Chain A
Amino acid sequence: MSNTVEIHIKRRPNVDAHQHWEEFEIPYRPNLNVISCLMEIRKNPVTKSGQQTTPPSWDMNCLEQVCGICTMVINGRVRQSCSALVDNLDKPIKLEPMTKFPNIRDLKVDRSQMFSHLKKVHAWIELDGTHDLGPGPRMDQDDVMERYAYSRCMTCGCCLEACPQYDEDHYIGPQAIAQVRLFNMHPSGAMDRDERLQGIMGEDGITNCGNAQNCVKACPMNIPLTKAIYEENRETVLYGLLGWLEK
């Protein structure tokens, strides 16, 4: 086994600059993940050929694949860098920023559009208030398990990076649709079902899904995204029909 790890990083100094690759080499240790490699590089940012350079910039926080922030494209596949273990990766390891979001610097991107989508689809329950009104509605454990699966979405953006339709914000994408499913399944949430459906029925709405099914394969939390799209597509069709009848 090689006693060094070679890592290629696609760099961009700022939003207006061009991207370029830089190559680094660090000493191998067992149990390295991509984040620990980046930490090693930033301590002493010198390229493989011995050139002093700037330390790479990236996002990281929980390092347990639950906050979603450290998502990047690793050897061509979008995933979290904290759970990308060096021993399991082809070498040299190639790190690139996600491509569907504005690239801030190096491996950092701005995913605020995903949070805007959550506003658009009304991804919350309209509480009467936060004062004590006793417990919520009783629920069947099977329904809870299905909702739990959707509720694990950490807004990482893997599904959007992998989706061939998601680009330039013309399609709201699987993450927001799955959140519609999450709240429409809840007895109190269902009371605002229509507002959520309207959020995914516009020009950038659910009908833009091309059924490539890349999202469900890319999702690190194994969220049944295609099921959510199927269910919500059905709901929007019914809602469109009834809405038309009401007029």
Chain B
Amino acid sequence: MAAGIKIAIVGGGLAGLAAAMKIAEAGHEVDLFSVVPVKRSHSVCAQGGINGAVNTKGEGDSTWEHFDDTVYGGDFLANQPPAKAMCEMAPAIIYLFDRMGVPFSRTNEGLLDFRRFGGTKHHRTAFAGASTGQQLLYALDEQVRRFEVAGKVKKYEGWEMMSLVLDDHQVCRGIVAMNLRSLELKAFAADAVIIASGGPGLIFGKSTNSMVCTGSAVGACYQQGAKYANGEFIQVHPTSIPGEDKLRLMSESARGEGGRVWVPKSKGDNRSPSSIPENERWYFLEEKYPAYGNLVPRDIATREIFQVCLAGMGANGDNQVFLDLTHIPAETLDKKLGAILEIYEMFVGDDPHHVPMRIFPGVHYSMGGLWVDFDQRTNISGLLAAGECDYSIHGANRLGANSLVSCVYGGFIAAPAAIEWAKNVERNGSNGSRIYEQETKRQQETNDKLIAQSGAENQYKLHEEMGRIMTDNVTVIRYNDRLKQTDDTLRELTDRYDRISINDSNLWATMALPHARQLRNMLDLARVITLGALNRNESRGAHYKPDFPDRDDANWLKTTIAEHSGEGPMFSYDPVDISLIPPRKRDYSHEKKETAKA
């Protein structure tokens, strides 16, 4: 009897768990790899909610309207068919989580409640307090545990993917992973592999991302031939809390529930915010974008806040603006935003019920990622991707509360596509063991070399330098000369990387070797992001160049594709599927024009 289908999933956040649940439910086996116990994945950090056009508020919302908001918010860089499919699946996704027991907030009739988020005029965001990502992840964690008990899912928590196992025809046959305690390297055969490893925020040093969000697994796939698309589109969230170790997210739901962004009208006004009268406050988002106000999409809010601070108008002359909730009744705040207000108070010490929060933009999300087709398949046969690590859906800018739905959608599409591939692929038989041994040996050699070398460079300092230059030059405002200079620096850092010492003589459960492996992969992706930005001479969504301030559809309505080579990333460009909604200019100072349903 032939062995059953086994699929390896790398990453146990929303996308990975969604895929695992679907594959196990279909009766197949899953090997699930995660750097941390899956319940501690970065999805827990998502706060505000999950979008789906359920129209419980009678506002005439529809999945088509959700789709139009998504591609309009993404400045028309997204392929439209998958974005449409996601919006159509979104209500069913929310209902499924409801059935799994997620404590979504309710209306008076006990129905799901919805709130407003950026880039839409509709109440379309279902939420569980202000820790929706945590609640959704736990629901999937519970269902996958159920399949774990049933013997369908085997978890490898504390194992990090090092590389893919590819056969002589460049078909993916499994992965090599490293045990993060013993540093043992082991090959795992699989009929298909789904990468669901999340975003690469740590390339920017400090971001709103968790410490596992290195993009390292994706970097390894890229080095082995997977295409990386739209890398230059990095979302900088308008509202984060600056910290020494990371930038903590302050959810868009704060503005969705009525929060207002302002600075004092006169430069150098150092009075405490509560003593500045209403007519001496500059609500710059409301003034410039009367139709959407504080709920303009993130790329726009971020640029406005950034420019205000660059002009010296930030609160107390610093890089910060006020996000004010003090006019909202305390009971409403506690019910709808409790978790995030606790985070602010815990880390800053001020109580946002009474004192306006001080916030500044922070790197948050990558719209770019592994190139996938409309079934989440990468260009490597047998390798799929889902979640933040893939590039589909969000175009040049992601709308708030679309990430949770896109992760689950990606997992739900990748699972049957992986099964379909696995059913039809020829097993590579007993002579296949050679490729596993070879790849394990190759990874062991890389580890041995790193452990043996004793150069003067410090890997953590290299990481800091990379993060600083990426944050300074490849985030909100981009200039070609600085991008060029950033790439030169990244190449220098890559050279210096060869002279690091891992600096830990105790290899048991060391953090040093895994970090060194991650750093190498981050450096490669940093170049993809930087050079993609350098090449793209236009402004679109999150990618903004003052020297090329307009969107240029004639030349740049296309997907950036980066492929690895010995000389660095090689770029090519693919057309965008705009078959459903013709591109039109984004303008959030006015109501969005209706689009006729195709």
Residues of chain A having any CB pair with chain B under 8 Å: 13-14, 29, 31-33, 35-36, 39, 42-45, 54-55, 57-69, 82-83, 85, 104-106, 108, 111-112, 115, 118-119, 123-127, 129-130, 132-136, 138-141, 144-145, 147-148, 151-152, 154-155, 182-183, 186, 188-189
Contacts and interface: CB of A to CB of B under 8 A. Distances in A.
Given A63-B246, A67-B36, A141 B106 contact: yes
Most A Cβ at <10 Å: residue of B99, B106, B149, B503? B99
Given A45-B504, A55-B504, A66-B131, 12 more contacts: A42-B460, A61-B42, A63-B210, A66-B45, A66-B339, A67-B40, A126-B146, A132-B96, A135-B111, A135-B112, A141-B110, A145-B335
B410 to A, nearest CB: 15
A144 B104 contact: yes
Interface stretch (B117-125, B134-142, B468-476, B583-591): B134-142
Contact of A125 (B101, B107, B504): B101
Interface string B14-54: 00000001100100000000001101111011000000000
B244 A42 contact: no
Nearest to A62: B210
Contacts of A119: 145, 148-149
B181 A104 contact: yes
A183 to B, nearest CB: 7
A104 B346 CA distance: 29
A132 B95 contact: yes
B92 interface: yes
Contact of A130 (B22, B103, B110): B22
B466 to A, nearest CB: 15
A30 to B, nearest CB: 8
Given A43-B458, A67-B40, A127 B100 contact: yes
A65 B570 CA distance: 40
A220 B580 CA distance: 49
Interface of B: 21-22, 25, 36-37, 39-42, 44-45, 92, 95-96, 98-112, 128-129, 131, 134-135, 138, 142-143, 145-146, 148-149, 157, 181, 210-212, 243-246, 248-249, 335, 339, 343, 346-347, 458, 460-461, 503-506, 508-512
A188 B458 contact: no
Contact of A29 (B106, B129, B244, B339): B244
B211 A61 contact: yes
What 9 A-B pairs have minimum CB-CB distances, sorted nearest first? A138-B110, A124-B142, A136-B98, A105-B509, A148-B103, A136-B99, A67-B40, A132-B92, A36-B244
Contacts of A123: 142, 145
Nearest to A43: B460
Contact of B509 (A14, A115, A125, A151): A14
A36 B102 CA distance: 34
Contacts of B21: 130
B99 A64 contact: no
Nearest to A140: B110
Contacts of A136: 95, 98-101
Contacts of B245: 33, 35-36, 39, 63, 82
A174 B503 CA distance: 41
Nearest to B106: A141
Contacts of A105: 181, 506, 508-509
Most A Cβ at <10 Å: residue of B21, B108, B142? B142
B183 to A, nearest CB: 12
13 contacts: A13-B508, A33-B243, A45-B503, A45-B504, A54-B506, A59-B36, A61-B36, A63-B243, A67-B210, A115-B145, A123-B145, A125-B100, A130-B25
B181 to A, nearest CB: 6
A95 to B, nearest CB: 15
B103 A62 contact: no
A65 B346 CA distance: 9
A64 B244 contact: no
A69 B212 CA distance: 12
A118 B145 contact: yes
